[in-house]
Structure 1
Amino acid sequence: MTSVPAELDLDLARKVLDAQPFSRLLGARITAFGDGAATLELDLREEHRQQNGYVHGGVLSYAADNALTFAAGAALGPSVLTAGFSIQYVRPAVGAVLRARASVVHAGRRQAVVRCEVFCADAEGTETLCAVAQGTVLNSA
């Protein structure tokens, strides 16, 4: 992996996420960041669900996309953009917390391939895999 400046840490990642109005609207937070990995979480609310009571696929997709990009930023540096990603929904998402864990599979100087698993955790913390995503993130600097 490439060398990333030491000032890229969890506190900075949290500030970057907080600068995203949509992430604030959803209530997302970064709980882990560094070494080519990131974890994004959000407490699930009624507004995150679709008509059958499951977490909306768009919310899962948002979580995967942002986790992928933050993980890549931990490897490539802060100026990154998602070039594209795919997501496979494994099962309906129900629970109290949505957790997206992403890690870099391969990073070059300007591009990283990243994989993400999206889980729902119940009130006791038991996780269930809900989706798997993979994407390419570019260093835009």
Structure 2
Amino acid sequence: MTNTDSGDFRDRIQTNFSRQAALHTIGAELTRVERAMVEIELPFDVKLTQQHGILHAGIISAVLDSACGFAAYSVIDPDASVLTIEFKVNLMSPGRGDRFLFRGEITKPGSNIIVADGRGYAISDGPAKLIASMTSTMMIIRGREGISG
């Protein structure tokens, strides 16, 4: 793994995001891509809630996982890919808002394993409210059939 840019990581992340059918199904949008940091936004949709009308923990986890994974793409070689091998989510506040912002940031890049931290925020009137955090571990994949960057 290197931290050199042998291509446009932003284009690569956008291409991979466009291939994520699950994110498109729930209405997620890739809104910011920087080296070691990605943001994904999601509008509120009642179809994504649990029985109390708040954003489902599975949706929160899925989008945080994607934000962390795409952040990892910004610090790996263009011929490599990543797969999540472990994550932990803390749900800190009910997912109530008009929109949600999910940010993934690289905590520790590596040659085989990358650690990222994610934060999820509910956005309505007033300041954004932290609703969840994630610590994610990803494995860098090279030369594996069916998995490409």
Q: TM-score, normalised by structure 1?
A: 0.91
- Structure showing greater radius of gyration is 2
Counterpart secondary structure, 2:9: coil
What is the rounded CA distance, in whole Å, between the counterparts of 1:41 and 1:13 in structure 2?
15
Q: Deviations over 1:17-61 (max 9, x none)?
A: 121111110111111112111111111111011111110001100
Structure 2 residue aligned with 1:118: 120
Show the counterpart of 1:88. 90
Q: Is the 8 A contact 1:76 1:110 kept in 2?
A: no
Unaligned runs of 5+ in 1: none
Counterpart AA for 1:129:
L
Percent of residue pairs identical:
23
Number of residues paired by the alignment?
139
Q: Distance in 1 between matches of 2:18 and 2:50?
A: 25
Deviation at 1:15, TM superposition (A): 2.4
How has the CA–CA distance of structure 1 residues 137 and 125 changed in structure 2, closer, same or farther, with 3 Å as cutoff? farther
What amino acid sits opposite 1:99 in the alignment? L
1:51-130 matches, cutoff 5 A: 51-77=51-77, 79-122=81-124, 124=125, 126-130=127-131
Structure 2 unaligned regions, length at least 5: 143-149
**Matched-pair contact (CA < 8 Å) for 2:102–2:119:** yes
Residues in 2 aligned to 1:26 and 1:5: alpha-carbon distance in whole angstroms: 32
In the other structure, the counterpart of 1:40 is: 40
Deviation at 1:113, TM superposition (A): 0.6
RMSD over aligned Cα atoms: 1.5
